[in-house]
Amino acid sequence: MSFALTDEQKEIQQGIHKLAQEKIKPRAAEIDEKAEYPFDIKELLSEYGYIGANLPEQYGGAGLDLLSYCLIVEEVARVCASSSQVLTVQELGTLPIIIGGSEQLKERYVHDLATGRKIAAFGLTEPGAGSDVKNMKTRAEKDGRYYRLNGQKCFISNGGAADVYSVFAKTDKGYAAFAIEKDTPGFVIGKLEKKMGIKGSPTAEIFFEDCMVPEENMIGEDGEGFLVAMKTLDKTRPGIGAQALGIAQGALDVCLEYVKEREQFGRPIGSFQAIQFMLADMAIQIEAARGLVYRAAASLDNLGSKGKDPSMMKLASMAKVFASDTAMKVTTDAVQILGGYGYIQEFPVERMMRDAKITQIYEGTNQIQRVVISRSIM
């Protein structure tokens, strides 16, 4: 499978690199410190058409392929992981409607989401149903022309900031998905979590207390919710790989500048073999991760609408696992290379190390991904 970048993809990569370095990088430390959703970055990404990069043109998106989307996420995460969440969570929250929603539902919501006029979120995880999705307790019961939802979700990215939530619940027929607006009576935002990293991406609890959702807001048919959720995560996994890849590359960027300037024993520390070997290993791991992420994205692009291919899902899981493990290893080594300076907030590698950890956890822990991979190869 060839995934050499086309001229158009190279142009997209160069454009977002320039924007990220000039406009997003200067805001990264402040976004982390304030721990608030960066609405200005959302507006910036919307203005340049990046917010709906991988969403269909007919609904206001840019209609780019998955690999182009991954290039965009990578370059933003390279300077600010929280800002890359603006892209990845918008994609995650909107895709269920694209994948399973009626034409009416798409017309109502996707254009505003694809252009950044409204913010999306994805409501699947519960206190007792993280990796064990089928153990969810949130219930949706038919009540005339409505569904009455009761239950709780947790660890919801964009919680409190989002306007439209793709929410999953149990029904008598299995599982169903719903598009729920933030001002729906009975829809309650709980506490905002205080997190280790990606602090500019709010994470909240959500409660449903006799929340009445119109039946036309169901995404797909009753009983199809689990399939919609899994199809969504299959498509978003390479994007998380790209996010992790960007974090790792950003940490290496900082190290390469630092080792040329920092002197010990009368010479730059980059002249010492111990440091050179660490940098070489970091570069090798990043390049290997880049190959897997790009290949997974290109493969899913080629799969298109042909359906679900287990070999492609395996590749997406491999990309997510390897890239996120690489991000954690590279950022940890980056802190070590900077020594005491790596441990303080004046330098960005401590933020990058904190941000990297979540990529091993969300959208399917790396342990669950290894289960997926092992089942596929066996």
The catalytic residue positions are: 363
The C-alpha atoms of residue 49 and residue 70 are separated, in whole angstroms, by: 14
Bridge partners (DSSP) listed for residue 171: 174
Task: Fill in the DSSP letter of residue 299.
Answer: H
| Exposure on the CB side of residue 38, measured as CA atoms within 13 A | 30
User: What is the pairing mode between strands 164-171 and 120-123?
Assistant: parallel
The C-alpha atoms of residue 363 and residue 122 are separated, in whole angstroms, by: 11
The CA-atom distances, in angstroms, between 333 and each of 268, 298, 325, 329 are 18, 30, 12, 6
The C-alpha atoms of residue 235 and residue 205 are separated, in whole angstroms, by: 25
What amino acid occupies position 36? Answer: E
Helix 273-303 × helix 310-338 angle, to 10°? 160
What amino acid occupies position 226? Answer: F
Helix (H, G, I), strand (E, B) or coil at 155: strand
The C-alpha atoms of residue 143 and residue 212 are separated, in whole angstroms, by: 8
Q: By C-alpha distance, which of 146, 52, 134 is closest to 90?
A: 52
Q: Using an 8 Å Cβ cutoff, are 128 and 196 in contact?
A: no
The C-alpha atoms of residue 205 and residue 192 are separated, in whole angstroms, by: 7
Q: What does residue 140 show for φ and ψ, rounded to 5 degrees?
A: -125, 115
Q: At which residue do the structure tokens 């980059």 appear?
A: 270
